[in-house]
Amino acid sequence: MTAPTALSTAVEDGQLPAAALRLTTGVTVLTVRHLDRMHGSTTSAVSLVSREPLTVGSGLRQDSELSRLARESGWFAVNVLSGRQSLLADWFARPERPRDRAQFELLDWEEEPEHGLPLLRNAVAHLVCQVAGRVPVGDHDLLLGTVVRGRTGPGSPLISYAGALHGAEFADVRRRRGPAAQAAALD
């Protein structure tokens, strides 16, 4: 077993940001529609924050158009990308892409029937969320959404790890349960 390095608290030494990039997250595209405006944004910062009610949270820049449109419409969708959709992640991360509906013109998508939210086809999951709140945190907003509908699709997720995108291939791991397993986990 390799000895861990000393914990760093200084951002300047590069260890703190590098350690934070090791958080492994699924890559999603949040989409919104408000009146005639449509927008999508790539994020790898979506997480389940409550099971009852089923609520997700996503970190977005405070000046984010997606956050503003979601608050105005009251709705947004989470498109969980598959490992084959890395180009979509790159597209919706580009600030210079076209605005509004034009950013979806060449993509395979459908409208969510009730609110017209863009849903990207071939995603491993879609979550339709009603905005439950917004919490300012540092230079970002935590956009909260209560999940009102969802569906799953085939495939494995696209993940973000150490600043890069990866296709996920899952293998079951052996787990032990009970007091012996808890003691072994401490070693």
**pLDDT at residue 149, rounded to an integer:** 97
Q: Could you report the average pLDDT of every consecutive run of 10 residues in the chain (187 residues)?
A: 55 71 91 96 93 97 92 97 96 96 96 97 98 94 97 94 87 77 57
What range does the domain containing 86 cover? Answer: 26-168
Task: Enter the pTM of the model.
Answer: 0.85
Query: pLDDT digits over 51-82, tens only?
Result: 999 999 999 998 899 999 999 999 999 999 99
**Structure tokens, 17:** 């940001």
CA distance 101 to 119: 13
Is 164 a domain residue? yes
**Where residue 98 sits, what CATH number does that domain have?**
2.30.110.10
**pLDDT at residue 175, rounded to an integer:** 82
Instruction: State the total domains in the chain.
Output: 1
Is 114 a domain residue? yes
**pLDDT at residue 62, rounded to an integer:** 87
Is 185 a domain residue? no
**pLDDT at residue 80, rounded to an integer:** 97
Is 133 a domain residue? yes
Report the phi/psi class of residue 34: left, alpha or beta, with left for phi > 0 and alpha for psi in -120 to 50.
beta
